[in-house]
With several copies, the nearest count.
Chain A
């Protein structure tokens, strides 16, 4: 099938649909028209796009956890607890890793084992195996909107089932759920898969049912510079919009430097709107999501609370529409419901204390925003060039050429030349910019920033700096200084 950034025809979509729904027996229970009716009957308070729009208007930042366990009743109990005790404004359903790799048979084993052992043996909720009705039980059990969060390169069947199941928001994208989440799935394939997902949402949209889409912002979660995640987020937003998506939440994973993080969220909102509108989709609503630090966490729970709070503070000061919350168990394992609620409560305390305080513009912040704008602009310009006008082709070629390069990604379709490291103030810069199409001044800017740190630490910049930075937050620091 030819990859083009062009809205799929009904025929093409429907032809593929049969095959998709046949992927696992539960696919047979998807009845699109009935699902549309189901969505139309949902109260506005359970619709993601509606709540996000409200929050954006009022300038509040919502808190959303990650959470999912193997069995339906336990999953419902978990979500209710996060809503009632944790005070979550928005809820997730995190999908297990077998489902993410379309290994539904292994997921089935995981469900059985979980029943036998009385504890979840899966790291998430296997929604495909459970099917449409189980999803609706989940949606109906809680009072706030629920989103599907996963990491699935081919998430077509998962989308069919969960959206028919009443979920109103779907995370992921053809790049962001491929490169960090797989090893040898070609980008062409996943972009096609995700065009399907977006086209499906466009189908819902055409019946007046709004499903929000959220490209996965943090990518590998580890020292990803804003220009990389911004470029991916914007490409995926444009691809989604073309298939008929009308509401997107663009994401960014906290790096840790106050100025850089605020600049990132502000430019993400701004550039997202700019590109969508310039490329012909001015009606798409753009909101933002800030992820609390996505890399290695400290094992000590008190220290984890510190990391969580600092993330919450930045989300509020930057004015992100929502924040994805970490937990005090992060470094060790999937959190208990209590630990998960604890993370939300800490976050909400900070969000609430800061909700009437915004970070005013400063020359420093302006400079950082300008850097991000220029970097992202250079990358996206080149992507469009490479695609000779077609964004989907451009994206594939950009990865081939290293014009987009995601640090530490497992995929062999990622060049992996980029080496990020923190500067002397903790902002993520580039020790090696690989094949990014940056202007001379930008390259010089990064070089000087890293050199400045090298001077302060009395060492030459090297891969050891990167390693030190990867461990740093887990060891209670931001910048990985030599001992």
Chain B
């Protein structure tokens, strides 16, 4: 079976690198081919990487609190680039402060994300969902 390709990165002016490194390791161990664009990644970098590698999913991290500002418009750009069908996930500490996660999830879903994860989500959860969504 062909390995599934995922684009992984931390969006915006965010430099939190530890979770990114662990996700990279765990996803690779789980049999995915991970294209890791690292921290401080722009929307364009996510899209270019996904197009170039024909990725099956885009995994966006945002830890530092500016996620709402940074993620706005990403789905639209994906659609423009013909990546309508590529699932778009986001996880981390997605807003400034401790907020009700249901509201946060709702908000990101409105922005076009297919799955939204709360702070501290472990890689297993992601891997299980990927197995479900990509077949």
- Check if A229 is an interface residue, CB within 8 A of chain B: no
List of A residues within 8 angstroms of B68 by Cβ: 121
List of A residues within 8 angstroms of B12 by Cβ: 97
List of A residues within 8 angstroms of B38 by Cβ: 183, 410
Interface contact B96-A120, CB-CB below 8 Å: yes
- Selecting from A20-28, A102-110, A253-261, A370-378, the interface stretch reads A102-110
Q: Which of A109, A181, A335 contacts B98 (CB 8 A)?
A: A335
Interface contact A334-B15, CB-CB below 8 Å: no
Q: Which of A123, A299, A470 contacts B119 (CB 8 A)?
A: A299
- Check if A331 is an interface residue, CB within 8 A of chain B: yes
- Check if B77 is an interface residue, CB within 8 A of chain A: no
- Chain B interface main SS type: loop
- Check if B32 is an interface residue, CB within 8 A of chain A: no
Interface contact A410-B96, CB-CB below 8 Å: no
- Check if A352 is an interface residue, CB within 8 A of chain B: no
Complex alpha-carbon distance, A336 and B99, angstroms: 10
Name, among B12, B17, B96, the residue most crowded by chain A CB atoms within 10 Å (CB to CB). Answer: B96
Interface contact B22-A470, CB-CB below 8 Å: yes
Considering only CB atoms and an 8 Å cut-off, how many residues of chain A contact the other chain?
40
Interface contact B120-A299, CB-CB below 8 Å: yes
Q: Which residue of A lies closest to B20 (CB)?
A: A410
- Check if A326 is an interface residue, CB within 8 A of chain B: no
List of A residues within 8 angstroms of B65 by Cβ: 97, 122-123, 333-334
Complex alpha-carbon distance, A383 and B95, angstroms: 41
Interface contact A113-B66, CB-CB below 8 Å: no
Q: A97-B64, A97-B66, A120-B97 are in contact. List 18 more A-B contacts (CB 8 A).
A: A97-B13, A101-B13, A120-B96, A121-B68, A121-B69, A122-B66, A182-B15, A220-B17, A220-B18, A222-B18, A333-B65, A333-B96, A333-B97, A333-B119, A336-B97, A408-B17, A408-B18, A410-B38
* Residue ranges of A at the interface with B (Cβ–Cβ < 8 Å): 96-98, 100-101, 103, 106, 109-110, 113, 119-123, 151, 180-183, 220, 222, 295-296, 299, 329, 331-336, 339, 408-410, 463, 467, 470, 474
* Residue ranges of B at the interface with A (Cβ–Cβ < 8 Å): 12-15, 17-18, 21-22, 25, 38-40, 64-66, 68-69, 93, 95-99, 119-120
Shortest 10 CB-CB distances between A and B: which pairs?
A: A123-B65, A410-B17, A333-B97, A101-B13, A410-B39, A332-B98, A97-B13, A333-B98, A183-B40, A334-B97
